[in-house]
Structure 1
Amino acid sequence: MESSAIYGLESQGRTLCSYSTEIESVRFFVGTLSTRSEGQIHQIDFEDDLNQISRKVYKPKIGEIWQMQCAPTDNLLGLVYNQISDSSCRMKCGIWKLPSEDQSSNGGDLDPVVELELADVSENVRSLDWHSTKPQCVISYENSFAIWDVTNGHHKVKSTLNFPNLYSAKWNPHLDGNQFALISASSVTGMDLRSMKEAWKIPKAHKFQVRDVDFNPNKQYYMATCGDDCSARFWDFRNPSEPLKELMCHTHWVWRVRFNTFHDQLVLTSGSDSRVLLHSLASISSEPQGRTLFSDSEEEDRAAPAPLEDGILAKYEEHEDAVYAVEWSSYDPWIFASLSYDGRLVINRVPKSQKYKILL
C-alpha cells in the first residue's frame, strides 16, 4: 500500500472537512477540541507528488469546535462550537469568511460573518449542513431545525414539529435541493422543504443510535447510514422496509460513511475501532461493473481488467484512537483524510490497483 501522510494536532479533534471552492490543490480543514484553550482551525495543504503536508493555523476566538463544513460555492466556513462562560456552556453555530489565497499568504485570518442563533430558542445546536447550490444552511437543534439564509443572517423556515433527541441534519443534493434528512435516535426522516412535511422515513435504520447519513451524489434516492450497531447500511429510501446492503466490518461504533463524489462505488467508513475501511459497492453504484474505455472494434478483443467486485478494498490502520471523521478530497477523487480523537490526521489514497480497475 502507498505511504500515508500524518499530521498531529496539539490537542484532541473530531471534525474535518474538505475545501470545496475551486483551487488546484488538496486542502482540508481540521478543528481542535480542548477545554484548556480556544478552538483552532488548521488548514492542511497536501502535495501529492512529494507526499508532504503544510499548514496554516486560524484562531477564531471560540471554544471547542465540534463540526465544520465548507460552503460548496463561496469562500465560507460553517462552525458548530462550544461557547463556555463562567456560568454556562452552549453549543452555537456561526459562519466565517476564509481569506483569499493572496490574503492567506500575507497572514490573513478568518472574518466572522454571522452568528446563526434563534432568539426564541435556547436549545443547543447539533449540526450544520450547506445547501449544494444556494447560500443556505440547515441547522439542527436538540428537538427542532431551521433553514438559514446566510446572506442576511435570518432563518427562512423554522420547524413547528418536535423531533426528540435530534442528532443531525443532512441535505439531499438531488430533487432540486428540496429535501434533507434528519437523524433522531435510531431513525432517519426525509423532510420536504416545500411542504415542511415528512417525505419518507426509515423508523429503525439501525438497532441503536444512527451516527451519520450520506446521499449517493450520482444516484438519486440512494443513501447510506451508519451507527452504534457496528454496521453501515445502504438504502433506496423509496422502499425503506429493508436495506439494499449491510456491511458489518467494524468491531465498534461506526461514526462516518462517505460516498466518493465521482466514483460512488467507492465508500469510506470509520469507527471507534480505530480503523478506516475502503469499500467497493459496485453492485449498487451508478457505474456498471466491467465498464471499459475501449470502443474501437480492433480493441474489443483486448482483455479488460477484472471488474471491481463488492467487498473491502483496503484497510487503513494508522490511527490509535476512535476515528470520528473521514472525508474525500474535493479536488482529487483518489485522496481522502481521516481524523482520530487524539488529534492524528492521516491522508491516504485509493490503491493504484483499484484505481485502474475503475479507470480502464
Structure 2
Amino acid sequence: MSALEQMSANARKQHEEDIERLVKCRLRSEIKARKAVKSTMKRAVLEARELKKELVLLWQENEELHAAAQKSPGFGKDSTSELKDDPIQRLTARNKELESNMCELQQKVSGLESPATTVIEHTTALAEKDRKIADLEDELAKIKLVADETKRKCQHMLKEKRDEAQRALQENEQLARCAKTLESQLALLPQLKRQLELTNKKRADTAEVWQKKLEQRDQTFLREEEANKQKLAESAFQIAELTEEKLELQERLNKLEIKLRKFESNHKSELSQESQRMIQLETSMNQWHERLVATEALAKEAEQAEVVARETREQETKLRQLTDDADAVGAQADYDLVQARGIPKAHCSTIDRMELTSNNEDERDR
C-alpha cells in the first residue's frame, strides 16, 4: 500500500510540475509580446503627436498667410484659393486615420489572450510576430519619412506663396503711390494707364503660371498620397493576417487546455478508483484478519476440548478396566464360593481370608 501511495504521489507531483512549467512559459511569452507591442504603440503615438503638432504649426502659418493676403487690396478670392490648404487637410486626415488604426490595433492586441500550442511552437510564433512587428515599425518609419518629405514640400510651397504675397504687396504699394501721384500728373494719365494695364497683364500671367505650377504639385502630391494609401492598406492587411494567426494560436491553446483538463480529470478518476480499490483491499484484509483471529480462537477451544475429551476417554478406559477387574474378581469369588460349599469346615478360615481380600480390592477400586 505504501509503495502504491508513493507512486501515485510522485505521478501527481510530476503532473503538477509540468503544468506549472507550461503556465510559466506561457506567462513569460505573453509578457514579452505585450511589452513589445506596447513599446511599439507608444513610439507610434508619440510620432503621430509630433506630426500633428507640426501640421498645426503649418496650418497656423497658412492661416496667417491667408489673413495677410485678404488684407492686401489687390489680392482677391482667386489668390486666396491658390493657398491650397487641401494637402494639409489630407495630411491631417491621414494622421487621424493612422492614430485610429493604431488605437484599434492596440485595443485588439490588449483584448486578445496570448496563446500557445506547445512551449516551442508558442515561442516560435511570438518570435515571428516580433519580426513582423519590427517590419511594421520599419514601414511606419518609412511612412514618417514620406510625411516629412511632404511637410518639407508644403513648407517650400508656403514659402513661395509668402514671397509671392510679398511681391503682390509691393506691387500694391507701388500702385498706391502711383494713385497718389495721379492727381499731380494728369498729363501722364494715359501712360500710367498703359503701365497699369501692363502690370495687370503681367500679374495675370504670373498668376496663371503659378496656377499651373500648383496644379502640377497637387497632382504629384495626390500620386504620393495614393502610394501612401496603398502602403497603409498593405500594412492593415498584414495586421489582419497577424490577428488571424493569433486567433488560430489562441484556439490551439484552448484545445490543449481542454485536453489537459481531460487528462487531469481522468488521472483524478483513476486515482480515486485506485484509492477505492485500496480501501476495499484494506477492508478485506481486516475481515480476513478478524476471521483468522476467530479461527485461532476456535482452534484453541478445539484443542482444549480435545484435551478434555482425551482425559475423559482415559478416565472411561480406567473405569472400564476397573469394572472388568471387579467382574473378574466377582466371578472368581462365586466360583470359589461354589467350591467352598463342598469343602469341609476346616477350610473356613481360608474362605474368610479370600472374602476379606476381595472386599479390600473392592474398596480400593472404589
Structure with greater strand percent: 1
TM-score for the superposition, normalised by structure 2: 0.16
Q: Structure with the greater relative contact order (CA < 8 A, sep ≥ 6): 1 or 2?
A: 2
Structure with greater helix percent: 2
